[in-house]
Amino acid sequence: MSFSDKIDEWIQEAETRPASALMILKLVANRLRDLTERNEQLLAENIGLQDGTRVQEYQKRVAHLEYQLELLKRRLGGDETALLATLPEQTAPLALLVYNAHGRILRLELDLARADLGRLSGDLHIDGELPRLLCLPAHEEVLLLFTSGRVSTRTVAELPTLPLGEDWSWEQAALPDEPHAGERLACLMPLSRLALADFFIQASRRGCVKKTLASMAQSVLDNHYLGRGTPGKADQAFDALLCNKKERYALVTYEGRLLGLDVDGLSYAAEERLRLETTDYVIASCLPGQDEFLLCLTQNGKVIQRELPNLELARSTTGRGQAIIPPSRLDQGTRFVGAACLRSADQIVVLAADGRLSLFQAGTVAGAGAIPTDSLLLSLGVIPADAAGPVRP
């Protein structure tokens, strides 16, 4: 029955039963209010279509979906038919990115048969921050997260490649996005999982964690802002990862604390999850996978291994985590410089204080309990065994 037919019926009802007139008037007023709101919505949509804003919004959505499809193609090796058929067999060249807080990024094309990769000269300590290492296929794209919460994206292919086995300096490194005043480059995050991920997860140096829905990626990339991931000014952004529901998330600190978290239980607001000593801070975050173990590296090359299937998840909002470094070793000055979740078949890259970059088999160093080195170690990077081929989602 149409609204006009209802009006005729209500008038007859009011004439027959005058006592019901007030109730009928309220029904008419509510209906008119609903129609007015709907009319305003239609008018706004019509104006949006006329001035192009709605068209631009749809165009942005289409462009973002095309962007995610392109990322997915890269994850599958760049073959469009791989989205509908079997994954391609060809391997992709691997790139090792060495980057610092000033936004400088060195790109090396890896040779996995070579143990000595070369040497980085110059100042390796920048305002207390050490260089970070990230290995990924050369067709990847990365998100640059700055300590202000600002983000930008770059493809690895945009970065110039430097030859292995030589000495490099930061002056040779690319500067794809120079940090703005008061900010530093916090981390590089691979983006190829974006179309398959449920969340961004951020960790701060002082153990604050927050998650952001991956469905908000278009807004994040359009506005070039993900957020600092910490409520305190004394803290700063440290790392960001893409993850899915029901995954586990682990944090490792400089003084040997390990905290396991359930991704589904994390807040969308930055919350302190680790209660740290003033001298302690987060040095690694990772998503433990099946058949992986946690490898933690000390500054003098010692390796501490922990199995992850029984990783204890934190039950309270803020905790101390598990102690991995025994108190006696902690008193002797033992500290972690890196940690990662990996398999025995994976390889690792380490950066020493003399600037040397070296490659090792993860299973070998885990079994030996140490990395042979004549210098203190500064950073750890992981090369997954399947990284040279298309990464399966």
**pTM of the full structure:** 0.78
CB neighbour list of residue 281: distance below 8 Å, 6 or more residues apart = 205, 206, 253, 254
Query: In this predicted structure, what is the pLDDT of residue 88?
Result: 43
pLDDT digits (tens, 9 = 90+) for 149-163: 999 999 999 999 999
Q: Half-sphere exposure of residue 369, counting CA atoms within 13 Å on the CB side?
A: 0
**Banded model confidence at residue 86, pLDDT cuts 50, 70, 90:** very low
Between 175 and 78, residue with greater pLDDT = 175
The string over 245-255, giving b where at least 16 C-beta atoms fall within 10 Å of a residue's C-beta and e elsewhere, is: eebbbbbbbbb
pLDDT digits (tens, 9 = 90+) for 99-122: 999 999 999 988 888 999 999 998
Q: Which tokens is 178 given?
A: 């120079």
Domain ranges of the chain: 3-51, 94-383
Mean of all residue pLDDT scores within the chain:
85
**Banded model confidence at residue 89, pLDDT cuts 50, 70, 90:** very low
Evaluate if residue 272 carries a pLDDT over 60: yes
Query: Do the beta carbons of residue 199 and residue 263 sit within 8 Å?
Result: yes
β-strands 257-262, 132-137 pairing:
unpaired
Query: In this predicted structure, what is the pLDDT of residue 365?
Result: 94
Pick left, alpha or beta for residue 172 (phi over 0 → left; psi -120 to 50 → alpha; otherwise beta). alpha
Query: In this predicted structure, what is the pLDDT of residue 43?
Result: 72
Question: What whole-number percentage of the chain has pLDDT above 70?
Answer: 84
Q: Which tokens is 12 given?
A: 């007859």
Pick the CATH number of 94-383 from 3.90.1010.10, 2.30.110.10, 1.10.760.10, 2.120.10.90: 2.120.10.90
